[in-house]
């Protein structure tokens, strides 16, 4: 009986080793914020398509769930989903003080643009002295007080009317809105390039899901990044120029 037990024990150890080495192939549930697309009719934002493409490249099923931004973030922090995407790295807050963890890898980079009225140049070293607005939820990104507004279009209209001195937001949101509104007399310039991460529960930092994100970043589609207007160099164009990037026109 003892001689028979040894081969069985050895076989059990070998099978256990292979089982441990086999990567987890369960579907990954990803929380993403509600965007200006139409998923019910098969029209999805390029950032959603980018995440779906991660699954295709790594042979992993991706289930995307949409929520209002803060709720999406909360689901990731609580571990209700595998991760949330996207979130700009907050340079003003220590990651240890946050209720969630940033992915190890930077997923993309995004250009934040300062929009001002032509002829009203602002002192970039002292922006705190002006009435500056940004989109809701992004106020902590700046080392000065800002107004958080819920409408890109509304903020740009306020800027043109002189009700605010400047508006700072990502070029992939602000630029298409600026052109769609047909506003003139608005000047744009680069404010800062921010790192964009996925968000996980603290216990998943460095784990299998975090590694999946790292692997996906190394394989992600250049074309889909361009469509989402992320990981792109800042282009210093102005309204009225003869050459405005085509992707800005099609961004909304």
pLDDT tens for the chain, residues 1 to 252:
444 454 445 445 544 444 443 456 899 999 999 887 788 888 899 999 999 999 999 999 999 999 988 899 999 999 999 999 999 998 888 888 899 999 999 999 999 999 999 999 999 999 999 999 999 889 989 999 999 998 999 999 999 999 999 999 999 999 999 999 999 999 999 999 999 999 999 999 999 999 999 999 999 999 999 998 899 999 999 988 876 766 565 444
Does domain 109-194+245-249 bear CATH number 3.40.190.10?
Answer: yes
Q: How many CA atoms lie within 13 A of 221 on its CB side?
A: 20
CA nearest 108: which of 252, 226, 251? 226
Instruction: Give me the residues paired with residue 13 across strands.
Output: none
- pLDDT confidence of residue 11: 43
Sequence ranges of the chain with CATH classification 3.40.190.10: 25-107+195-227, 109-194+245-249
pLDDT of residue 59: 96
- Which residue, chain included where needed, has tokens 């949409």? 66
For 25-107+195-227, CATH gives: 3.40.190.10
Q: SS3 of 142, please?
A: coil
**182-187, long-range: CB within 8 Å, 24+ apart, which pairs?**
183/156, 183/157, 183/239, 184/239, 184/240, 185/117, 185/118, 185/160, 186/115, 186/116, 186/117, 186/118, 186/156, 186/159, 186/160, 186/239, 187/115, 187/116, 187/117, 187/118, 187/238
SS3 content of the chain, % helix, strand, coil (to 5): 40, 25, 35
pLDDT recorded at residue 247: 55
């Amino acid at each position: 009986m003892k001689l028979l037990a040894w081969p069985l024990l050895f076989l059990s150890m070998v099978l256990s080793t292979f089982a441990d080495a086999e990567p987890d192939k369960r579907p990954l549930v990803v929380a993403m914020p509600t965007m200006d697309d139409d998923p019910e009719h098969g029209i999805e934002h390029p950032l959603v398509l980018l995440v779906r493409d991660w699954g295709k490249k790594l042979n992993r099923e991706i289930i995307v769930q949409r929520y209002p931004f803060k709720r999406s973030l909360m689901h990731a922090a609580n571990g209700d989903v595998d991760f949330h995407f996207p979130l700009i790295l907050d340079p003003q807050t220590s990651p240890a003080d946050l209720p969630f963890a940033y992915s190890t890898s930077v997923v993309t980079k995004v250009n934040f643009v300062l929009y001002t009225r032509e002829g009203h140049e602002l002192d970039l070293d002292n922006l705190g002295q002006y009435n500056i607005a940004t989109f809701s939820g992004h106020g902590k990104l700046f080392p000065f007080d800002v107004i958080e507004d819920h409408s890109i279009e509304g903020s740009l209209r306020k800027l043109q009317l002189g009700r605010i001195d400047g508006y700072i937001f990502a070029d992939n949101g602000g630029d298409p809105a600026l052109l769609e509104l047909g506003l003139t007399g608005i000047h744009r310039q680069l404010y800062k390039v921010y790192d964009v991460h996925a968000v996980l529960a603290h216990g998943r930092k460095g784990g299998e899901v975090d590694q999946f994100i790292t692997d996906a970043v190394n394989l992600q589609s250049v074309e889909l990044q361009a469509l989402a207007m992320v990981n792109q160099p800042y282009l210093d164009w102005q309204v009225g120029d003869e050459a405005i990037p085509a992707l800005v026109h099609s961004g909304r």
